[in-house]
Structure 1
Amino acid sequence: MKEIFVERNGSTLRIAIKRNNKLKECYIEEDSKEPFPGEIYKGVVKNIIPGIKCAFIDIGHKENCYMYIDRKFKNTGIKKGDEILVEVVKEAIGKKGPKVTTAVSIPGRYCVLNTLDNDVTFSKKITDEDLIAYIKNGLDKPKDIGLMIRTNASKVTVDMINKEVAYLYNIFEDIDRKVKYSLKPGLLYKAGGILGRILRDKLDEETTKVYANNVEDYEEIESYIANAKDANVFLELHNEEIGLFQYYGIENEILKLRNNKVQLNCGGYIIIEKTEAMYTIDVNSGKNIKGESMRKTAFITNIQAAEEIANQIRLRNLSGIILVDFIDMKDEEDKGKVLNKLKDGFIEDKIKTVIYPFTELNLVQIARKRVGKLIEEYMDEPCSCCKGRGKRLKLSYINLLIKNEIERIKESNNIKHIYIELNTVYEKHVKDDIISFIKEIEALDLAVYLNFFNGEEYYKVEPLLFSNQLENLKMYKIYG
């Protein structure tokens, strides 16, 4: 059974997906007003650099976007000052602005409308020629747009597909009107963010349960389910005081994604490291003594590692070049089984991933398209204590965890006083603005006692129930 957990806290939306009670995917989105993949903008060409075949586009954001010039995008004729329609395909990274394209598309559940051509194409997973002919013959497609028929279309009638085509085309016409009449560059269409993408891509005929802690998200999901005739979904509104992720034990699983070492059931482990150019994953046998021989030990470790590596790449949203150093294997059949296990882990992955064969050094190269940020980018920030050479958990993320812990304590105790211990790396930041800290942990109705400590842990939260506790800790009282 598949479970989808949708938790919204203020400006942060987090979505976790479990299959058979194992965390498989995790997404985080912050309402930062930054351009987000899938959004469509009116842009103005500010500069063109022929040497690198790149144009820089003003979309009304603080930084110009960049766009590659290529015949396949039909944008080789653009000139400085031109007004164009563009879609964001990559978020800004560091000092590099967002990447945009003129290959504008509007995704639906059964098809994707695109503006570069007027062809009808089909998902590679739709191979039934009779079905393709049935859809083509019954398709009511406007002449000025193209359509890519998605896999889900094979599970519904052509009438359902045509209803969605009409809906998407209305959106396109609305965007086209805005382009013509808007005077400045700016946002024209939001694609629904990660919630919209999850609903389109993850709801299917498999029995799925969706939990949401926000009424507006619940209603949006409910409305979507009502029109998704091929989806088998049970929806539940989470009304508990304890946060959704905390209640179902997801919080701790997400925090584990910050660890570079991941244990395998056989006793082996993998180490995930980031370099300037790529990610490297090292496979180690560790305490694995199950094999009757070195060959068997290596194979058992590698086969389990292959499954976990695919899982970790998807969970952490790793992208670019990923180099895996498996334990040496001589047998070609064993190598084939390990490679197939690795590929199996990406079958349901919507992000384009290419896995190359073993090299002579038992290395496997994975190339994965970047879509959205890494999970660690939402959770971590540079650590000032080590002059930027290391990272620490973001204070905003710590505040979210503390808030959830306070809600959990409130559920079981009628408390008025709360004691918090926080790692000293956050001391200056918190002391500079105590009231903001109190607001973020939603403790304005409590008396708050705060102490700082050195150690590997980040925080601790306890209720103060007795008068002697209040007396002993009164020097730490900061609010209330």
Structure 2
Amino acid sequence: MREIFIERRDRILRIAVKEKGQLYECFIEEEEERNEPLCGEIYKGRIKNIVPAISAVFVDIGHKRDAQMNMKKGRTYKQGDEVIVEVLTEQIGNKGAKVTEEYSVAGRYAVLTVNRQGLSVSRRIKDERIINNLKNELVLPNDVAVTIRTSAEDTDVLHVNKEIDSIYEKICDINEKSKYILKPQRVYGENSLLHKVLIDNINNQTSKIVVDSKDDYELIKKYIGDEDEIDVILHEDYRTMFDYYGIEREIVSLRHNTVNLKNGGQIVIDKTEALYAIDVNSSKNISHGNKFDTAKNTNMEAAYEIGKQVRLRNLSGMIIVDFIKMRDDKDKADVLNALRKAFYNDKTNTRIYPFTELDLVQISRRKKGKSIYSYIEEKCEACDGHGKRLKLSYIENLIRNEILRVEGENAINDFYIELSEHYEKSVKGDIFTFLKEIEGITKNIYLNFVPGIDSFKVEPLLFKKQVENLAKYKVNNIEFC
């Protein structure tokens, strides 16, 4: 069964999807990103520059960096022309977002796309009877393209038609609203991440949605309507939702680049400037009599795990997989099929290429949002940015979880915190914000910066002797100069 967890804080929105009790996908949106164009948002823009040499049109959409759009054959572009565009990929570094005039509005059963026409049905719907019924019974607008999603397979055509009408009304509203807007700005896509996750993940397998915001609770109750089989729960515990349900621990584990397989093998995930490299090792897998069977067995399990890890970590661009060498072409075909099956339900456009002469497999995955690393890691100041460390803001969140958990179980007001020495400069530079973020303003915090530890340790001080021994670390005794 599928469960969805939506945790909203002042500066961050996090959504986790679990399948059969295991973390399946994780989505994060930070406050800074709300001031940037996000995938799926629709803007009224103005053409600012045209560069035929690279077939590119640059569009002002109201952000610091102009968005880039590919020139369409037969279409005439002029500086100053107004356009309505959808964000395909977010801005990276100095490059602006990529946009298209063929913008789409999605529902649970259908997607409508402007500046195109026709009907297409998800390739995952295999039943010809269902396909023919959809084609015969659907009532389609003439001026947009309609794509029927896989979820329509399990619902009545009447519901699909009703949704198509509703989406078409939204498109008409977007076009009408854009006529009266003078400056480039967003015209559709408020709360886009939450809506996208709900659209993509609510189906007949969804059993529970947990939220910690009353506004989100009301929004979701309205969205799911009369679907009584889905429980919507408002989380009101003193502990944060992700900590309470063990999701935080699963997210932290994604920082490790080595993933152990059940059969004793392992995969190692490394990021370079240009791509992600995934190495498959047999490691401790000695369950089979010969090395060829061991290689295939390890590669098969690795293929499924690679699909899971790529999705969880939201890896994109070029991904190179170095499987253990196999002689038999049939074994290679089996591993490729296992890899394709692992990505079958991936909502992001992914292509898997055959084994190369060097026995490598290339995966191309469209970029949608940032990888999990960008949310939980930052450049390490101690090595001039060459290495990575857990983000201080993320460590503050983890420390706060520990303090709230202990505080809820016992009436304790004194906490000893050990932090890696690499965070000393950042913390001492703004100690008030650090205390505020860990909910330590009204508590006695004893803070020690220790060399050789990876991140942090929190210890409640239960006895007077402990407090006395650690008195020199009390925050108000630290010199900030």
Q: What is the TM-score of this pair, normalised by structure 1?
A: 0.94
C-alpha distance in structure 2 between counterparts of 1:118 and 1:50, whole Å: 27
Q: Is the 8 A contact 2:39 2:87 kept in 1?
A: yes
Please list the CA deviations of residues 176-212 of structure 1 after superposition, one character each: whole Å capped at 9, or x if unmatched. Answer: 1221111111111116333212211112112532222
> Which of 263, 266, 270 is the equivalent residue of 2:263?
266
- Greater shift, 18-27 or 376-385, is seen at 18-27
C-alpha distance in structure 2 between counterparts of 1:316 and 1:477, whole Å: 38
After the TM superposition, which residues 383-394 of structure 1 pair with which residues of structure 2 at under 5 Å, given as runs? 383-394=380-391
> Which of 447, 469, 473 is the equivalent residue of 1:450?
447
C-alpha distance in structure 1 between counterparts of 2:439 and 2:87, whole Å: 35
Q: Is the 8 A contact 2:102 2:116 kept in 1?
A: no
C-alpha distance in structure 1 between counterparts of 2:476 and 2:123, whole Å: 60
Instruction: Give the secondary structure class of the aligned counterpart of 1:152.
Output: helix
Please list the CA deviations of residues 369-413 of structure 1 after superposition, one character each: whole Å capped at 9, or x if unmatched. Answer: 111110101111111211121111111111111111111111111
Q: Does 1:4 align with 2:1?
A: no
Instruction: Give the secondary structure class of the aligned counterpart of 1:81.
Output: coil
Aligned residue type for 2:109:
Y
Q: C-alpha displacement at 1:292, in angstroms?
A: 0.3
Look up the match of 2:272: 275
C-alpha distance in structure 2 between counterparts of 1:264 and 1:163, whole Å: 46
C-alpha distance in structure 1 between counterparts of 2:143 and 2:308, whole Å: 41
Q: Does 1:84 align with 2:83?
A: yes
Please list the CA deviations of residues 426-480 of structure 1 after superposition, one character each: whole Å capped at 9, or x if unmatched. Answer: 1111111111112222233323222211123211122223333333323322269
Look up the match of 2:341: 344
Instruction: Give the secondary structure class of the aligned counterpart of 1:258.
Output: coil
Instruction: Give the secondary structure class of the aligned counterpart of 1:462.
Output: strand
Aligned residue type for 1:399:
E
Look up the match of 2:65: 63
Q: Does 1:408 align with 2:410?
A: no
Q: C-alpha displacement at 1:154, in angstroms?
A: 2.5
Structure 1 alignment gaps of length 5 or more: none
Look up the match of 2:133: 134
C-alpha distance in structure 2 between counterparts of 1:461 and 1:342, whole Å: 41
C-alpha distance in structure 1 between counterparts of 2:293 and 2:453, whole Å: 38
Look up the match of 1:125: 124
C-alpha distance in structure 2 between counterparts of 1:94 and 1:341, whole Å: 35
Q: C-alpha displacement at 1:268, in angstroms?
A: 1.5
After the TM superposition, which residues 407-426 of structure 1 pair with which residues of structure 2 at under 5 Å, given as runs? 407-426=404-423
After the TM superposition, which residues 276-291 of structure 1 pair with which residues of structure 2 at under 5 Å, given as runs? 276-291=273-288
Aligned residue type for 2:289:
E
Look up the match of 2:146: 147
Please list the CA deviations of residues 308-361 of structure 1 after superposition, one character each: whole Å capped at 9, or x if unmatched. Answer: 111111111111111111111111222222111111111111111111122232
Q: Does 1:438 align with 2:438?
A: no
Structure 2 alignment gaps of length 5 or more: none
Please list the CA deviations of residues 105-138 of structure 1 after superposition, one character each: whole Å capped at 9, or x if unmatched. Answer: 1111111121112322222223444434433444
Look up the match of 1:18: 18
Instruction: Give the secondary structure class of the aligned counterpart of 2:408.
Output: helix
Please list the CA deviations of residues 196-247 of structure 1 after superposition, one character each: whole Å capped at 9, or x if unmatched. Answer: 12211112112532222222222222222226x5x94222222221222222
Look up the match of 1:459: 456
- Aligned residues: CA RMSD: 2.0
Look up the match of 2:109: 110
Q: C-alpha displacement at 1:419, in angstroms?
A: 2.3
Q: What is the TM-score of this pair, normalised by structure 2?
A: 0.94
Aligned residue type for 2:170:
I
Look up the match of 2:304: 307
Q: Are residues 289 and 134 of structure 1, via their aligned partners in 2, closer, same or farther at CA, if it must alter by over 3 Å? A: closer
Please list the CA deviations of residues 41-71 of structure 1 after superposition, one character each: whole Å capped at 9, or x if unmatched. Answer: 1111111111111111111111111111123
Q: Is the 8 A contact 1:203 1:232 kept in 2?
A: no
